Amino acid sequence: MAQGLDEIDIKILNHLQKDGRSQRNKLAEIVHLSVPSVSERMRKLEEKDLIKGYTALLDSKKFKFDITAFVFVEVDGSDNYPIFIENAVAEPEILECHSITGDGSHILKIRTENTSSFEQLLSKIQSWDGVSKSRSNVVLSSFKETNELPIEKTIDPK
pLDDT tens for each residue of 33-67: 999 999 999 999 999 999 999 999 999 999 999 99
Above pLDDT 90, what percent of the chain? 87
Which contacts (CB < 8 Å, 24+ apart) does range 101-108 have?
A: 103/72, 103/135, 104/72, 104/73, 104/74, 104/133, 104/134, 104/135, 105/73, 105/74, 105/75, 105/81, 106/72, 106/73, 106/75, 107/70, 107/71, 107/72, 107/73, 108/70, 108/71, 108/73
Q: What is the CATH number of the domain that holds 71?
A: 3.30.70.920
Q: Does residue 65 sit in the same domain as residue 7? A: no
Q: Does residue 78 sit in the same domain as residue 133? A: yes
**Residues 116-142 pLDDT 10s:** 999 999 999 999 999 999 999 999 999
Which pLDDT band holds residue 156 (cuts at 50, 70, 90)? low
Average pLDDT over residues 86-104: 96
Q: Is residue 39 part of a domain?
A: yes
Average pLDDT over residues 89-105: 95
- Collapsing DSSP to helix, strand or coil, 138 comes out as strand
pLDDT of residue 3: 66
Q: Does residue 20 sit in the same domain as residue 88? A: no
What does DSSP assign to residue 45? H
Q: Is residue 31 part of a domain?
A: yes
pLDDT of residue 152: 80
What is the domain extent for residue 129? 60-138
